[in-house]
Structure 1
Amino acid sequence: MLSEEEKTLPLALLEEANTAFAVIDADLKLVYANPASELLLSQSTQRLYQLNLKQLAKYYHFNPSNIEKVFVDRNSFTENEVTLKIDSSPILIAISATHLSFKDDDYVILEMRCIEQQRKFSQVHYQDHQQKVAKDLVRGLAHEIKNPLGGLRGAAQLLEHELADPELKEFTQIIIEQADRLSSLVNRLLGPQKPGIRAHHNIHLVLEKVRKLVCLNLPDLIKIKVDYDPSIPDIEMQPDQLQQAFLNIMQNAVQALSTNTHQKSQITIKTRTAHQVTINGLPQKVAAEIRIIDNGPGIPDSLKDTLFYPMVTGRSDGTGLGLSIAQELIKQHNGRIECQSVVGHTEFLIYLPMNV
């Protein structure tokens, strides 16, 4: 650790910087971390100073090779997207490493900036636009399909009345059943159009109903853990709609874990109160924060950007409507849903504004 006498004006300025700065010596030991680093890494400097680069990398789950290479090449590098795991949750940072010679010793200065919120904002803005286009297209097609389906079903019923042979009526019944099945699918594609009657309800009662429903057919190797904040007040909602939204998310988690051979498969439902959050572009002083977390294989990169689009699914037997409907129901409650996922940690985060 650098002594107080060794702290020059530049280091004193780093102490006040909002950007996280850290210094690593040639032995790959952390010798300095400013207060912003403590905040970013959620560790005290006393704890950080006990770690070398490889221990830091293992602790925060990142690849240290580029930083080690700076000592060899005596140059610098910048990586715009590095994922760190902070308190088991992945966050995205931009990191720059620069070589420095000081009093015949080699050091590397690390500059770290959290870009999670910036990336989320850009991603949410882009995805909202793309989802609106996709949903408008799907709903347009659904309406085009629904009208002839009604005519097809009506014609089959009229034909059935004209047929004397019971064996022929069997075929008209097949037409009617398949028309009803397709009509049901079309209705799901159109999705919920407006919220029901709202009243103030306890969010935990809704979540407990969902948990009990999921537990009815839960595989033995999957456990559900709850971590509720009882201080959250009642929220204005349509409970059946939010129950459906949470149920769709939970069922996705169960399906993901069902393919996992890990012996400790777990889903965690966590609630907290969040302060000063932005939901759909509007600042909220306080909101209910619901996290549904599983330790499954994670969401494939190819699906992450289109996860909430209708008809997008990673399962051969999936319809791709569950998350799309969940998002629509949460939006109708003026809420926001987002997802972050790496191998071993998939987290759906839902914010619902509270009028308190």
Structure 2
Amino acid sequence: MTKSEVSYKHLLDSLNTAVVVADANLRVWHMNPAAEALLTVSGERVEGVNLATVVHESEAALKDLQLALANDHQFTRRRAEWTTGHGSHLTVDYSVTPLANPRGLLIEIQPLDRLLRISREEALLSAQDTSRNLVRGMAHEIKNPLGGIRGAAQLLARELEEGELKEYTQVIIEEADRLRNLVDRMLGPRTPPNLQPINIHQILERVCVLVNAESAGAVTITRDYDPSIPDLPGDAEQLLQATLNIVRNAMQALMENKVEHGVICLRSRIQRQFTIGRVHHPLVCRIDIVDNGPGIPTGLIEDIFYPMISGRAEGTGLGLAISQQLINQHNGLIECESRPGQTQFTIYIPMEQPDAKH
């Protein structure tokens, strides 16, 4: 390697922007540390490897690279979907600049996944906050007349003798109570979490016991835990409720759709340097709840965390909304991805909380 090539590589290595340099045969000549981190690959290992093996977009994109090399044509592509050699998916902007000496291409890469996640999460949190405010306003307007109806029914019951008419007043009272309870559930938890150091795997095991009992063993639950995860600050009851709502939904979807060999997998991992909304967290506990059911209809996937939205005929549409609110109170977030044959809910809980007791 010449002295100029060494200096060239040192210059690229000092950049925060991910850069890949390909030779005239579109083989990797150099990859700076930022690109190694983005593509989760060692630059030394892929040196001389065909670029399409390291990262793939499409045949048309490969032809564009070849044309850029042949015609000395620079171009930029927005929101490209890349698949790495490890099978992971990236959304990126990238610019391609032909090089004369040595002949090749310099590819500058800007990852968009994090920015898209932040934008999506902010929209989700904002919409849920708006939804909660709307529900609170509706709840106030509903509960006031309900109280009047219930009180009037009680007064009427006192004036009536025992018989069929008095039974009707009891029906009014019971239905008013049922509606009031429904409104209270729509409002969700109103007490802040009592943060104490907890073992998240004890929570998950409790969920397994409850769901196994409910399903009478009709659904298989598998575990994939990271035993090195330390205790995290949380409210055990709230985290149990949030997780149970999701796992119970998965169980019901498997059983109601008569899925043969229905399986729910509970997986725990540590996520490092993770952003929720615009808040950066050094460490986050990630819990994946994965089932092999029919999946969530595409028309519902964007709205499933709103109250009264359910993909099940018998569902109330409150369980996931309550779960999201409980996790939000822990400064965390729940996300969902679904396709036929696999639905995955992911819970993110920061390992540090500002009001935690030690």
TM-score range, shorter chain: 0.7 to 0.9
Counterpart of 1:152 in structure 2 is 149
Counterpart of 1:22 in structure 2 is 20
Q: 2:248 aligns with which of 251, 256, 259?
A: 251
Q: CA deviation at 1:322?
A: 1.9
Counterpart of 1:119 in structure 2 is 116
**What does the per-residue CA deviation read over 1:285-339, in whole Å, with 9 as the maximum and x for residues that have no partner?**
555443334466665665555443333444454333222211222233x331141
| TM-score (normalised: structure 1) | 0.77
Count of residues in Structure 1 that have an aligned counterpart in Structure 2 = 348
Q: CA deviation at 1:144?
A: 1.0
In structure 2, C-alpha distance between the alignment counterparts of 1:259 and 1:50, rounded to whole Å: 53
1:159/1:217 CA distance change after superposition, 3 Å: same
Q: CA deviation at 1:130?
A: 2.5
1:90-129 equivalences in 2 (<5 Å): 92-98=90-96, 100=98, 102=100, 108-129=105-126
1:149/1:197 CA distance change after superposition, 3 Å: same
- Deviation larger for 343-352 or 208-217: 343-352
| TM-score (normalised: structure 2) | 0.76
| Alpha-carbon contact 2:53-2:85 (below 8 Å) kept | no
1:342/1:165 CA distance change after superposition, 3 Å: closer
In structure 2, C-alpha distance between the alignment counterparts of 1:239 and 1:205, rounded to whole Å: 9
1:161/1:219 CA distance change after superposition, 3 Å: same
Q: CA deviation at 1:147?
A: 1.9
1:113/1:157 CA distance change after superposition, 3 Å: same
1:35 maps to 2:30: no
The SS at the match of 1:21 is strand
Counterpart residue identity of residue 93, structure 1:
T
1:264/1:89 CA distance change after superposition, 3 Å: farther
In structure 1, C-alpha distance between the alignment counterparts of 2:87 and 2:291, rounded to whole Å: 12
Gaps of 5+ in 2: none
In structure 2, C-alpha distance between the alignment counterparts of 1:101 and 1:280, rounded to whole Å: 39
1:241/1:104 CA distance change after superposition, 3 Å: closer
**What does the per-residue CA deviation read over 1:74-103, in whole Å, with 9 as the maximum and x for residues that have no partner?**
55241225365796765x432325263657
1:62-141 equivalences in 2 (<5 Å): 62-72=57-67, 75=73, 76-80=75-79, 82=81, 84=83, 92-98=90-96, 100=98, 102=100, 108-141=105-138
The SS at the match of 1:179 is helix
| Alpha-carbon contact 1:223-1:266 (below 8 Å) kept | yes
1:155/1:263 CA distance change after superposition, 3 Å: same
**What does the per-residue CA deviation read over 1:212-269, in whole Å, with 9 as the maximum and x for residues that have no partner?**
2222344978543323333444344332111001112223444565688987764332
The SS at the match of 1:351 is strand
Counterpart of 2:140 in structure 1 is 143
The SS at the match of 2:239 is helix
- Deviation larger for 344-353 or 240-249: 344-353
In structure 1, C-alpha distance between the alignment counterparts of 2:18 and 2:191, rounded to whole Å: 45
Counterpart of 2:308 in structure 1 is 311
Q: 2:332 aligns with which of 336, 339, 345?
A: 336
1:82/1:255 CA distance change after superposition, 3 Å: farther
Percent sequence identity over aligned pairs: 37
| Alpha-carbon contact 2:118-2:277 (below 8 Å) kept | no
In structure 2, C-alpha distance between the alignment counterparts of 1:326 and 1:29, rounded to whole Å: 48
| Alpha-carbon contact 1:195-1:238 (below 8 Å) kept | no
Q: 1:230 aligns with which of 227, 232, 246?
A: 227
The SS at the match of 1:149 is helix
